[in-house]
Structure 1
Amino acid sequence: MPQFVRLKFLLAGTALTGLLYLSGCNQSGEINTTVDAETANASFERYKERFLDSLWYYNPEWASNQGYHRYDSVLVIPTAARRRGDIKALVRRGKELATFKPTDLSVNNQTDWRLLQNYVQAGRWQLDTLRDWQWNPANYNLGSSVAEILNGRYWPLDRRLRAISNKISRSAEYYAAAEASIQEPTKEHTELAIRQNEGGLAVFGKALQDSIAKSGLTAREKEDFKNRIDNTRLSTEEYLRFLKTEVLPAGKFRNFRLGKALFDRKFYYDIQSSYTADQVYEKALQHRAELLRDMKTRATRLYPKYFPGKPLPSDSLATVKQMISRLSEQHATQAGFVAAVKAQIPQLVQFVNDKKLLTQDPTKPLVVRETPLYMRGSGAGASISAPGPYDKAANTYYNVEPLTGQPAAQAESYLREYNDYTLQILNIHEAIPGHYTQLVYANRSPSLIKSVFGNGAMIEGWAVYAERVMLESGYGGNTDEIWLMWDKWNMRVTLNTILDHEVHVNNISEQAAKALLLRDGFQEEAEATNKWRRATLSQVQLSSYFTGYTEIYDVREELKKTQGTNFDLKSFHETFLSFGSSPVKYIRTLMVKKS
């Protein structure tokens, strides 16, 4: 399943020192043990505002990603002193949150309190236990943050360029600190860092130079800017030299696998599910068997249509494989892949409107583009880059990695995986009514906390749920063909969870992992190779799709049962999405209260 790349849970910086110990404290500094609900909620609302104000000051890249551009010119230098300050700040945040009693707060504010608490606890754990700042060199890439500012629309060009110029003025310090931070990295993340920083160099090329030339910057500003670009390119190249000639040849790599203890804890913080990692793994194993049964039934019905006169294979799995292979022959051309994605978007908009699945907002732009070079290499063929709640009018980019330049056999394998059936499901997932639609709704949430601290499992789970609800509503004509290919697609979601657990907990080999994807997932070789790469570069994220989807579907079925004839699908969707990108377990609580 293509990776969603919008959310960046960066850590709070030295941070939030301007925050006061708020609700529950009197003027003498003592904590009040009894407060009325109105006072408690008012105090917590003020606290949230100050929390975010300081959060953005110390996390400028995350702020930019959320559409808060006041600090675009600030570059955080990832030094050891900075990390020590981060930990101290997170300890202070935990103490501040403890001054509130969640039971004194409204249900909405209780959810926000828990999201902030999870952020604080996860931040400390990431810094002092997971320590990926030490073993993941791909964390450091100036090209990405600069490109986001350059491509933005929130400020006039000159102001954006001045922000970039100030940001990159400390590029040498930034990459020197990055080098000092790296100790015993993984080989896989080192190779990713090389590829993405090489792509990042392109950000400081012709497009940026042309923008400077046509800008209203003074001659002195332009000269300083060009010198800073030269220095940034040199600093990036020095970082690349360090990775290529010192880190890689030394061969002192840690294993990319987390192990059970770290995997379980990361699952707890990242997914925020009502289920444990082990429970989700068991549910995925069960769902795999259910999907296989349905695939066998549908493939058996379709076989005489596509193989007239031929007897059914004695092995039902062979029947499924032959049917999927035949249907996969229908696909876009190598050169026309990105164009094929663009062509489908209006059809999805029309179907959602016709079926009244939810209300869409035509004023929010969706731009299909080729994935920028600095974002390539993670194994995700498609992704969404959406604006944050502070910049709601900005473009949402649907990033599609082009196939031009790939060997013909490799491209053909990829196109068979994203054939005429599954390409439609991909576009539902990434665009409408999947990620793009959900994130438009998230930006409307009255709670910035629920939008800012968005939960990846809810976001990915909604996109998977969107695929199912479109087919349930008749998209694709309710044929065995579209349902068989959705089964295959949903099997990918299911196997994502199984693979994630097998890789990081059970130490499955690359050969065995690919065999699992090819056999049980009926995947093409290119897809299996890309998925293995993703499993080595990410942890827990592959489990988010199935977990979120399962929980969302459970909530819907629960409310259908309790509301009976009063249940309305459109109302369910719009109410569910109105709570931002909260963990599904909290949305369930909010929706049960509403009903």
Structure 2
Amino acid sequence: MRGHIRLLILLALLGACERQDLDRQRITPPESTVLEEMRSETNLAFEQLCEQFILGLWKLFPSWAISEGYYEVARNLQVPDQNYRKYLLVFAQIYKRKFSALNENQLSINSRSNLALIKNFLDRLQWQYTSFKSYQWDPSLYNVSHAFALILNSNYAPVEKRLHAFSTRMSSVPEYYKAAAKAIHRPARPQLELAIQQNTGALSLFGEQLVKTVKKSHMPADAKAIFLHRLQDSRAAIQGYIDFLKNLKMKITKSGNFRDFRIGETLYEEKFQFDINIGITAVELYQLAITEKQRTHKKMTELTDKLWPKYFPEDPPPSNHLIRIGHLLEKLSLHHPSKENFKRAIEEQIPELAEFVVKKNLLSLDKEKPLIVRTTPPYMQGFSVASIDAPGPYDKGANTFYNVMPIENYSDERADSLLREYNDYTLQILNIHEAIPGHYTQLVYANQSPSIIRNILGNTAMIEGWAVYAERMMLDAGYGDFSPELWLMYYKWSLRTITNTILDYELQVKGIDQAQAMKIMVREAFQQQAEAEGKWRRATLSQVQLTSYFAGFTDILALRKEIKQKLGRNFNLEAFHEDFLSFGNAPVPVIRELMLAKIKGDGRD
């Protein structure tokens, strides 16, 4: 009996000890569980802070918000005065502090990539308003038309609701342009001339067609009257800004005191790091471009020597290889659309490109996302021959436009020069670049990415780099049946990408003049006079952006090679493309990190 009692007591004690051990486990969980909970809490805090950050961003930049399809702020137009610029800096400081308070080591790899983009954006915002100060010398920054056009032409709401938002927004237009004129101090000449051109184009948006739309609408009579009054004030404000700029141009032309549009080495390197973000310096990319230019000339020489007897059977080839290449390119360039049919030729090629991409299993294409080819609106003209105007992540169902400059309005001489540049061969490459599977396709994929941050804080080098990569990828896949003529023209087109980097750096940092720039483009890159003149103008209007094509292309090719080596026989080109594009508009180094983590099985959120 006593032994039995002892046994019961021992079992009770053991049970009590076991319960205490269980209680201790409840009170003091394993370290891995604690770390996982901390990570979860940190990632949740990061996501909540991102939401606050984005909402704050759209209040500060309503025009940008509208371009992303976020129409909740459609009524708002920020006046770009001194108080606004101060608040931008406060915003940057506050959110830098808030994001820095998070433990970055506890964030998932996707969150860390988003955090890197946010930090870069906030640093760039501060730099832009404290060091770069383009708001003082670039009058083309001030143009209200694009967001107004989106409100008017995007079917996000009934027309009366959109016109009401348009009307409310117009009430701030006079103050907007007053602040713009006050901010301008010693502008650069190219930017001043672009501002005059594009704001003159903006007047067409606020013209008679809009008056007819308002009068036909079902807005109440008093709302129509207010709208038309604000419309008159807005037109007067835009015209007043144009007049201000014209008078300023006349005054500075007499004194010769324009600001130099060249930004110099220090600002250029700083802007390059913010905008391009590929892990090397601007001068290193410039040196890579010089080397690639020599390689491309060698490939073009080989193709020219092969094709010369076919096109010049009676003529001995010139001894100078650049002259030899130039002669053959001129011969091939004679095959081009008429200036009246240029836009139609672009439209007809789009379905052919889509068919090839699907047939070769290069990418899946969304047939529900139509591409509309249109004439570039007047307020967007003066920068490039062709461009894509795509909806943002908040309005994924909106139309995507392929803008084409109205060259049918050019003189015959100017149009002929441009058409020789965009001949039957290069027009195909242009459409690959801009449409399928270039910009248009990439932006459709970007809108499917779950990360708003990676979309709205998109990286130019990734976006332009993909379009350039698409050109090469299509030809490698057999587009054009490996025609040596098409490949020769492709290399000429590729030289444009390479030359963009060389031209931009030598113009902005080394200070070359127009004659030197034209030599680089016409003699060494075989560009037509009209194209080279247009590129010169573009190079004087922007900084660093022209390097994004070669920078992104180089990085994407290197990434594909790396992924192919890691996967070996399991590498699939279509899967690589779709995986790459699934990460939105992030810089290529960020996408690289995400893709490698996915391969390792560590790509969880």
**Length-normalised TM-score, structure 1:** 0.93
Partner of 1:544: 548
Aligned match for 1:281, one of 264, 278, 286 = 286
Residue 409 of structure 2 aligns to a residue whose secondary structure is: coil
Aligned residues with identical type, % of pairs: 44
Aligned pair 1:60/2:65, yes or no? Answer: no
Aligned pair 1:558/2:523, yes or no? Answer: no
Question: Aligned AA for 1:341?
Answer: I
The whole-number CA distance in structure 1 between the counterparts of 2:541 and 2:277 is 21
The whole-number CA distance in structure 2 between the counterparts of 1:304 and 1:558 is 40
The structure with the largest helix share of the pair is 2
Partner of 1:339: 344
Cα deviation, residue 35, structure 1 = 7.0
Cα deviation, residue 205, structure 1 = 1.0
Question: Aligned AA for 1:560?
Answer: K
The whole-number CA distance in structure 2 between the counterparts of 1:244 and 1:39 is 57
Partner of 2:403: 399
The whole-number CA distance in structure 1 between the counterparts of 2:475 and 2:83 is 53
Partner of 2:497: 493
CA contact (8 A) 2:446 2:582 kept: yes
Deviation readout 1:88-109 (Å, 9 max, x if unpaired): 1111111011011222111111
Equivalent residues in 2 for 1:497-576, closer than 5 Å: 497-576=501-580
Cα deviation, residue 215, structure 1 = 1.1
The whole-number CA distance in structure 1 between the counterparts of 2:262 and 2:37 is 47
Cα deviation, residue 34, structure 1 = 11
Residue 408 of structure 2 aligns to a residue whose secondary structure is: coil
Partner of 2:190: 188
Q: Which moved more, 1:310-319 or 1:85-94?
A: 310-319
Partner of 1:434: 438
The whole-number CA distance in structure 1 between the counterparts of 2:510 and 2:385 is 27
Equivalent residues in 2 for 1:94-173, closer than 5 Å: 94-173=96-175
Unaligned runs of 5+ residues in structure 2 are 1-33, 600-605
Partner of 1:349: 354
Deviation readout 1:125-170 (Å, 9 max, x if unpaired): 0011100111010111122221121111111111111111111112
Partner of 1:382: 386
Aligned match for 1:325, one of 330, 337, 340 = 330
Cα deviation, residue 592, structure 1 = 1.2
CA contact (8 A) 1:67 1:391 kept: yes
CA contact (8 A) 1:187 1:248 kept: no
Equivalent residues in 2 for 1:10-49, closer than 5 Å: 36-49=38-51
Question: Aligned AA for 2:278?
Answer: S
Cα deviation, residue 33, structure 1 = 12
CA contact (8 A) 1:35 1:104 kept: no
Deviation readout 1:362-419 (Å, 9 max, x if unpaired): 11121100000000112x1111110000000000111000112211111000000000
Partner of 2:199: 197
The whole-number CA distance in structure 2 between the counterparts of 1:76 and 1:182 is 17
Partner of 1:7: none
Residue 73 of structure 2 aligns to a residue whose secondary structure is: coil
CA contact (8 A) 1:488 1:522 kept: yes
The whole-number CA distance in structure 1 between the counterparts of 2:278 and 2:185 is 32
Partner of 1:224: 226
The whole-number CA distance in structure 2 between the counterparts of 1:450 and 1:207 is 37
Residue 155 of structure 1 aligns to a residue whose secondary structure is: coil
The whole-number CA distance in structure 2 between the counterparts of 1:44 and 1:88 is 20
Q: Which has the larger radius of gyration?
A: 2
**Length-normalised TM-score, structure 2:** 0.92
CA contact (8 A) 2:375 2:406 kept: yes
The whole-number CA distance in structure 2 between the counterparts of 1:141 and 1:560 is 46
Residue 505 of structure 1 aligns to a residue whose secondary structure is: helix
Aligned pair 1:367/2:372, yes or no? Answer: yes
Equivalent residues in 2 for 1:244-283, closer than 5 Å: 244-251=246-253, 252-283=257-288
Q: CA RMSD in A?
A: 1.3
CA contact (8 A) 2:60 2:88 kept: no
The whole-number CA distance in structure 2 between the counterparts of 1:312 and 1:33 is 72
Residue 475 of structure 1 aligns to a residue whose secondary structure is: coil
Question: Aligned AA for 2:434?
Answer: E
The whole-number CA distance in structure 1 between the counterparts of 2:593 and 2:292 is 25
Unaligned runs of 5+ residues in structure 1 are 1-31
Aligned match for 2:245, one of 220, 238, 243 = 243
The whole-number CA distance in structure 1 between the counterparts of 2:389 and 2:210 is 20
Cα deviation, residue 314, structure 1 = 1.6
Question: Aligned AA for 1:274?
Answer: G
Q: Which moved more, 1:47-56 or 1:575-584?
A: 47-56
Partner of 1:458: 462
Aligned match for 1:469, one of 464, 470, 473 = 473
Q: 1:156 to 1:290 in 2, by over 3 A?
A: same
Partner of 1:484: 488
Deviation readout 1:192-212 (Å, 9 max, x if unpaired): 000000000000112211211
Deviation readout 1:523-563 (Å, 9 max, x if unpaired): 00001100100110000000000000000010001111221
Residue 121 of structure 1 aligns to a residue whose secondary structure is: helix
Cα deviation, residue 307, structure 1 = 1.1
Question: Aligned AA for 1:349?
Answer: A
Question: Aligned AA for 2:413?
Answer: A
The whole-number CA distance in structure 1 between the counterparts of 2:226 and 2:152 is 17
Question: Aligned AA for 1:144?
Answer: H
Aligned match for 1:233, one of 218, 232, 235 = 235
The whole-number CA distance in structure 1 between the counterparts of 2:109 and 2:288 is 29
The whole-number CA distance in structure 1 between the counterparts of 2:278 and 2:441 is 23
Partner of 1:86: 88
Q: Which moved more, 1:392-401 or 1:98-107?
A: 98-107
The whole-number CA distance in structure 2 between the counterparts of 1:575 and 1:293 is 34
Question: Aligned AA for 2:171?
Answer: S
Question: Aligned AA for 2:380?
Answer: M
Aligned pair 1:577/2:585, yes or no? Answer: no
Question: Aligned AA for 1:391?
Answer: D
